Chain A
Amino acid sequence: MIKIQNLNKKYDNLTVLKDISLEINQGDIFGIIGQSGAGKSTLLRCINGLEPYDEGSITIEGKEIASLDKRELHIMQSRMGMIFQNFNLLNRLNVYDNVALPLQFWGKKKNAPESREKILHLLKLVGLEDRIKSRPGQLSGGQKQRVAIARALVLDPQILLCDEATSALDPQITKDILTLLSQINREMNITIVMVTHQMEVVKEICTKMAYIENGESIAVGRPEELFVAPNSPIRNFVRDASEFLPQEGVNIRLYFNNDATAEDSVITRMARELDINFAICDGRLENYHGTIMGSLAINVSGENQEAVTSYLSQKNIPWEYA
C-alpha cells in the first residue's frame, strides 16, 4: 500500500533520511521506532506530503507523492488521517467542531445530516459522545487524543498516521489509546503507521516495525523477531538500562518463543544432563499482541561455556552472549 524506495532527504548539509526502503501493506500496524532525532517523524511527514524529499520514491497505491500537483496532493492527504503528540486541536472550537473541521476543508457543511451522523458516530467510537460541546481545554490528554483520532477518521481515510501519538500520555491512557487504535485497524480496516520512541507501543500493537537510527533504516521485521532474538541489530536500543549481569564468568542469554514452559524445563534439564551449576541473572516475559515471548540470562563459569553453548545449539535454542 505504501512503498518507500531509497528515500533520501537533507536539510542543507545535514542528512536526515538515508536510503530508506520500506513496504507497508494494507492492514498493517507498522511501527517506525527510533530515538529522538533519528528522522522518523520526518519520514512520516514525507509520507503525508507535508515535507518534500530529495531522492528516491514514496508511492501510495502506486501514486508517487512527489509527482502529485497541489490539488492531487490535497486529495491524497485527505485519504490519510494524522494524529500528533500534542493533539493539535483548535482551542476555540468544541469537540464536535474540531472533528468537523476536515469536512469543512472539503466543502461539507458541519451540520448537514450526513456530516452530523458521521461525526456523532466517530465520537461514539472514541467514547466521547457525552463531551460534544466541551472545549479541548476541558478535556484530559487522553480525551484530547481521542478527539484527534475522531478528527483523523472523519474523511474516511485508508491510512492513519500517528506521530508520537502516545508520548504525552501516561501508561494506562497509552494502553487505552492503543486498544482503540487496534480496534480501528481491525474493524475499519485502516492501515496504521506509528512513529514512536516507546518500545512498549510497538510491542503492544505493531504487526511490523522498522528501526531507524541516524536517518537509516537498520532493521525491518516483526517486532517479536527483532526484540526477542539473538544478535538483534536493535539490541542497543532495546537494552534495559537497569539490567545487571555479573562481571565474572560468561553471561548467556537464551530466547523463548511461544511455548515458554517447554523452554523452561530446558534449563533444569540442561543443569541435570550436563551436571553443572549456573546462576539465573535475569529473566523476562513479554506480551506481543497475545504471543508470549521471553528471554533468560544465565551466568556460567568459563570452563562450562563450551558445554552449555553446544548443548543449546544442539537443542536449537536461540542464544547469544550477553
Chain B
Amino acid sequence: MWDIITKAAWQTIYMVIGSTLFSVILGFIPAMILTLTAPDGLRPNRLIYGVLDVIVNIFRSFPFIILMVIIIPFTRLIAGKSIGTKAALVPLTVSAIPFVARVIETALRGVDSGLIEAARSFGASDAQIIRRVYLKEAFPGIISGITLTMINLIGYSAMGGAIGAGGLGDVAIRYGYQAYKIPYLVVTSIILIIFVQLIQSIGNLLYKKLM
C-alpha cells in the first residue's frame, strides 16, 4: 500500500508544482494586461479589456473534467501524448491560467491609485510604475493568490486519474472507492489535508513576512 501511495503523492506534488509554475508565468501576462487596460489603469482600453475579460470568464466557467477532455488534441500537441502525469500538466495549467489571471489582477488593482499617481507625478514611466509600484505593493497579494491557486490545483489534480495521470486522488478513487479499501481512502485523504494545510500555512507565513 505504501509504495502505491508514495508514488501517487509524488505524482500529485509534480502536477501541482508544475502546473502552478506554468500557470503563474502564463497567467501573469493577461493579469498585467487586464490591470493596465482597465478603466482606472495606466493605459485604459475598453476593447482589449472587454475581450480579455470575456475570454477569462469563458475559460473559468468550464468544469475541469470537461476542459480536460475538450483540450485533448491541444494536450497531445504540447506534451506529445494525451495521457500520463506529464500530459496532465497541460489541462491543469490551462484551467489555472484564467484563475491566476484573476487573482493577480485583483491583487494588482488593489494597489492604491494614489501611489500610481504619486509615481507618475515624479515622472516615472509605465514600465517603472509596473516594476517599482504595482509589483512591489501587490507582492503579498500575489503570493496569497498563488497559494489559493495551488490549493485549487490539488483539487483538480485529483481528477487527473481520468487521463491516467495518477496522483493521490486517483488512488483514492480506484483503490479506496471502487475497490472499497477503506485504508487507502483514509490515508490519501489525510495526506491531501496535510498538503493543503502545509501550503496554506506557508502562504500565510510568507504573506505576513512580506506585508
Contacts and interface: CB of A to CB of B under 8 A. Distances in A.
A88 B112 contact: yes
Interface in A73-91: 73-78, 80-82, 84, 86, 88-91
Contact of B136 (A77, A92, A102, A155): A92
Contacts of A91: 137, 211
B59 interface: no
A91 B111 CA distance: 10
A84 B139 contact: no
A73 B137 CA distance: 25
A104 interface: yes
Contact of B123 (A84, A89, A106): A106
B118 interface: yes
A88 B117 contact: yes
A224 to B, nearest CB: 31
B115 interface: yes
B121 A90 contact: no
B128 interface: yes
A128 B7 CA distance: 58
Given A86-B114, A92-B211, A102 B133 contact: no
Contacts of A90: 115, 133, 136-137
B132 interface: yes
Interface bracket on B:
20 to 34
A244 interface: no
Given A77-B120, A90-B115, A105 B139 contact: no
A86 B122 CA distance: 16
A104 B122 CA distance: 11
Interface residues of A, number: 27
A105 B123 contact: yes
A93 interface: yes
A57 interface: no
A58 to B, nearest CB: 15
A42 interface: no
A165 to B, nearest CB: 12
A169 to B, nearest CB: 16
A50 B121 CA distance: 7
Nearest to B114: A88
A294 to B, nearest CB: 39
Interface string A42-79: 00000010100000000000000000000001111110
Contacts of A93: 136
Interface in B69-124: 112, 114-115, 117-124
Nearest to B126: A70
A101 B132 contact: yes
Contacts of B115: 88-90
9 contacts: A78-B123, A82-B118, A88-B112, A88-B115, A90-B137, A102-B122, A104-B132, A105-B119, A155-B122
Given A82-B121, A92-B140, A92-B210, 4 more contacts: A81-B122, A86-B114, A105-B132, A161-B121
3 nearest A-B residue pairs (beta carbon): A77-B123, A74-B123, A88-B118
